[in-house]
Structure 1
Amino acid sequence: MPGKLKEVEQHDAPAIAAPFFIRGKLVEGTEHRHRSRDLNADFLSPALDANAIVTPRSELPPLLDVKVSEIIDFLVETGKRLTLDSNPHLRQCLELLSATNPLPRRVVENLYNSAPEMLKRGSLEGMISTNFDNPAILDGWVQERSDGRGNTGSLRAYPPRMIHMLAGNSPAGCIASIAQGALVKAVNVFKMPSSDPFTTVAVLRTMAEIDPDHPVVRSMSAVYWRGGDQALERTLYRPQYFDRIVAWGGGDAIKNVIGYLGPGIQLVSFDPKTSISMIGREGFETAQSIADMAERTAADTTVFNQDACIASRFVFVEGEREKIEEYCARLAERLAVDRAFASADAPPLPAETREEVEVLSAMGEVKVWGKGDGRGMVILSDQPVDFHPTNKTSNVVMVDKLEDAVRYVNVATQTIGVWPPERKIDLRDRLASAGGQRICRLGTAWGHVPGGPHDAMFALQRFVKYIGEDDIVNMEVNPEVEQAASLAGTG
């Protein structure tokens, strides 16, 4: 099992054991005590041996000569075994996460139940085909250039060595990172978050039960250390050990990593984002259409109780105030609904935010529906509030026309849900120019067509190292080029 509850004398508090998984082997131990970020729960881990998680460059990557098709076969088989009802490792994680992760148990359970979808064959093949025009460069050297004089050039997408700083807001998110690392044949070290030091190991243990010596398994390590541990990070974050740091995290975590960057080691950052909604006046025609929009907005707003990059926080609307207020009232009601990836009751708003809303309301600058008690609050205003709406809070902002809302979009704007969907056509280029990264129908922020970009990039392209091999058999220079070079030298 991924961990067992253990009583320890230190701090006179119970702590959970969180083992590591290093290059195919489970590593257990309780030498180090840590504290989770969100719930301040203690957990214990083995001592981390930095040498154990570094694969020397003298060793070829274990997946180098494994065909991508075989890797996909292995990932698909893993997906079949990640069924919560039959996987003891995930079931144990479900129990352990109640101590370290703020998401309700039911939401975590739903995330685990949806996890196998990430490892479906169509999804995996879609990632490859959309990231690489010629996927053959992942499996070997491909001759794809010539200059007409008999000289040729070959290319290979070479496996990188990567550290993945996993996100803490989605216990199943590690599965996507594991799949991505396997598809590019990388040597992978997953730094688990303090809010979930369990799930990654559970998935890797499931892989090892299929085949403990499989190259995918030997390419994976999952460990934990406290972010900002300079003694360890100064040792690990070096180009002689790793090519890429893939960071999912908050602003402070990203800034910390940037301090270690230099020639030979690159950051691929999925940094914090904010998402919004945009609703045209066409949506306010009837009471039924208003109710439909409220439901769609609530679905987009409450993902992980609004602790997700795709969760909408601001809603820009055009229309008559009376109908917009009707929409706000309906939205407040729908924010309080239990959903697959949200609970009816979220943690309440911070006290200082509630006080700020009360002051704005007393001054007549905003109108408010609901309370800051975690069951949903809607704030209607003429311009966006200065604070960051959280804990199932939606700021509805009235604009004369949706085009006016584009000025509030920037490079930190990830998903933009638009209604009616026809308005996407007129807005999408302006939204992209302003910095927006994904446009979808209102109410579908959680859905994705497999193989699409994330944060305006195709991640697998960024992960690999493109290595060129030139075979030059003819060094003759075109006489016209030689003459031009000579004239340039006399000038």
Structure 2
Amino acid sequence: MGNTFISPAIIRGEVIESNLLEFGGRGGDISFLAPDPAQLIDRLPLASPGQMQDLYELSFEDILDFLQELGGQLAFDKNPWIQQAFEQSLQTAPTTEPIMRGFYTHMPAMFDKERIRRWCNMSIPIEYLEGWVEKQVEQTQVAIRAYGSRALHIIAGNGPVLGALTLIRGAITRSDTIIKVPSNDPFTTAAIARTMCDFAPDHPITKHLAVAYWRGGDEALEKKLYQPHNIEKIVAWGGFASVKHVTKYIQPGLELISLDPKNSASIVGADALSSPALRSETASRIAADVGAVNQTACSSCRVVYVMCGTDDAGIAALKQLGEDVYAALLELPEDFSTTPKAYDPELKSHVDGLRLMDDWYDIIGGERGEGAVIVSHMPEAVDFRDYLADRTVNLVPVDTLDEVLGAVDAYTQTVGVFPDSLMEQVRHKAALYGGQRFVSLGYAFNGPGLVGPQDGIEPLRRMCKWIVTEQPLPSLKPVWERKAGETSLVA
């Protein structure tokens, strides 16, 4: 057995490292110790919803100030807990050391107060989080306010920033937040929470955060915790099986916000290959969306549909594009993309099998596990397209946009588009088929981040409880004072 690390539970300002059990992590010969979840179950949920009152004694500006301070405390070169989490996560994370270092180095920027303010206003106007927003609707004065919820977050482990994002979402909505950390990163979110305990153990946001690990499918624990008197919402990231498993606990009073597993693709118009300079730019854009964080995210491009035509000239142009994409992949910055940690052997067997079918495919690269470009000669993606990973992309020739739309469905998250002149047409048509996010090719990972909608929903709004009050205006005649057939309006 390799190294054994401790993943502490952090419950409402207290660090817990006792009653440790051993759990198996993902990523090879690795295990970690974490507190026995059965000993924590009664402490994870908030004792009473009324205890959330302290969050409402904070202004939104207070919350932003706290998050900004937390971001500063997370500076990689100064924070021993973050440094430790980085070293430990290298054993379990799906990505390599330079990419992981980039995640941790850039994490403090996520907590910039002005960035969070802009991000929040894209989803929920802050006035709804700060107080009652009043409007007159017919003869009634209506007031609406967004209240936080008691929420359990089951986060994915394909990036250490997901715990940070979840914490931010919980804070700005004034929610009570329980985070179940994943087995391939049980360390980072605990390190952030431990930092909060160090500099602000009694702050309301610290007091409304619990972080712990338990095995998914631990029914004895889940049946007890996943109850409406404990939590009101479950936000679940992850694979199909894990999300489906959670649905068995959903009942009146307990809502599931599901961030399902997704795949992403790109659409390239013929004009993108009209000159060597444009073809080179197109290749660099494709490489950026394929290579980012070594293709581990849902928004990673896996298939590119190129409207180059399916005749011999079109296939020749596509092969040249494939050569350029491969070269561009190898030139990406190492904190953004590297040779994968370990090329999936099953994927490699699929790719190598296509090398024997040179009438139908050209395979560029992949011999050293560095990533590969599969150039199809037919207007169809490879049959293992959902498993493309480790910087492996399939370029598919098509004659028209309509041929691409059949490959877009409810599992399609991000669609890269180039040239930008195609955007208006693509986003409308592909949205009807299920596409959820449309970006300029090459910018799937170089935009503002998870701002506004995600996976076709607005998770920040869904995390809130939307409360309404209604009060009659003098012009509304009460029903007990009017006669049958008489209007409710006062003359």
The answer to whether the superposition gives a TM-score over 0.5 is yes
Q: Corresponding residue for 1:284?
A: 273
Q: Corresponding residue for 1:322?
A: 316
Contact 1:245–1:267 under 8 Å retained in 2: yes
Give 1:424-435 correspondences, 5 Å limit.
424-435=423-434
- Segment drifting more, 337-346 vs 78-87: 337-346
Q: Corresponding residue for 2:383?
A: 386
Task: Give me the whole-angstrom Cα distance separating, in 2, the residues matched to 1:165 and 1:294.
Answer: 36
Q: Corresponding residue for 1:362?
A: 356
Q: Corresponding residue for 1:374?
A: 369
Deviation, structure 1 residue 463: 0.4
Q: Corresponding residue for 2:57?
A: 65
User: SS state of the match for residue 431, structure 2?
Assistant: helix
1:226 to 215, 218, 233: 215
Deviation, structure 1 residue 283: 1.3
Give 1:17-416 correspondences, 5 Å limit.
17-29=6-18, 31-48=20-37, 49-61=40-52, 62-133=54-125, 135-148=126-139, 151-319=140-308, 320-339=314-333, 340-351=335-346, 353-363=347-357, 364-371=359-366, 373-381=368-376, 382=378, 383-387=380-384, 388=386, 389-416=388-415
- Segment drifting more, 385-394 vs 51-60: 51-60
Deviation, structure 1 residue 304: 2.0
Give 1:431-446 correspondences, 5 Å limit.
431-446=430-445
Runs of 4+ with >6 A deviation: 478-481
Cα deviation, 1:132-170, whole Å, max 9, x if unaligned, reads 24x33323344434542xx53433212100011111000
- Segment drifting more, 368-377 vs 44-53: 368-377
Task: Give me the whole-angstrom Cα distance separating, in 2, the residues matched to 1:481 and 1:247.
Answer: 53
Task: Give me the whole-angstrom Cα distance separating, in 1, the residues matched to 2:78 and 2:136.
Answer: 50
Task: Give me the whole-angstrom Cα distance separating, in 2, the residues matched to 1:187 and 1:248.
Answer: 18
Q: Corresponding residue for 1:462?
A: 462
Task: Give me the whole-angstrom Cα distance separating, in 2, the residues matched to 1:30 and 1:50.
Answer: 13
The 1:112/1:280 distance shift into structure 2, 3 A limit, reads same
Contact 1:299–1:443 under 8 Å retained in 2: yes
Deviation, structure 1 residue 35: 0.7
Task: Give me the whole-angstrom Cα distance separating, in 2, the residues matched to 1:329 and 1:452.
Answer: 36
Deviation, structure 1 residue 458: 2.1
Alpha-carbon RMSD = 2.2
Q: Corresponding residue for 2:311?
A: none
The 1:479/1:280 distance shift into structure 2, 3 A limit, reads farther
Q: Alignment identity in percent?
A: 31
Contact 2:264–2:301 under 8 Å retained in 1: yes
Deviation, structure 1 residue 356: 3.2
Contact 1:346–1:392 under 8 Å retained in 2: no
Contact 1:337–1:343 under 8 Å retained in 2: no
- Structure 1 regions of 5+ residues with no counterpart? 1-11, 486-491
Q: Corresponding residue for 1:417?
A: 416
Deviation, structure 1 residue 208: 2.6
TM-score (ref. length: structure 1): 0.90
Task: Give me the whole-angstrom Cα distance separating, in 2, the residues matched to 1:118 and 1:482.
Answer: 60
The 1:144/1:30 distance shift into structure 2, 3 A limit, reads same
**One-letter code aligned to 1:96:** Q
User: SS state of the match for residue 401, structure 1?
Assistant: coil
The 1:479/1:397 distance shift into structure 2, 3 A limit, reads farther
Task: Give me the whole-angstrom Cα distance separating, in 1, the residues matched to 2:325 and 2:133.
Answer: 55
Task: Give me the whole-angstrom Cα distance separating, in 1, the residues matched to 2:133 and 2:44.
Answer: 31
Deviation, structure 1 residue 399: 0.2
The 1:368/1:187 distance shift into structure 2, 3 A limit, reads same
**One-letter code aligned to 1:355:** S
Contact 2:323–2:364 under 8 Å retained in 1: yes
Q: Corresponding residue for 1:9?
A: none
Task: Give me the whole-angstrom Cα distance separating, in 1, the residues matched to 2:155 and 2:183.
Answer: 10
Deviation, structure 1 residue 30: 5.2
User: Number of residue pairs matched?
Assistant: 470
**One-letter code aligned to 2:459:** A
Contact 1:377–1:392 under 8 Å retained in 2: yes
- Segment drifting more, 417-426 vs 160-169: 417-426
Deviation, structure 1 residue 346: 4.1
Deviation, structure 1 residue 479: 9.6
TM-score (ref. length: structure 2): 0.90
Deviation, structure 1 residue 332: 2.0
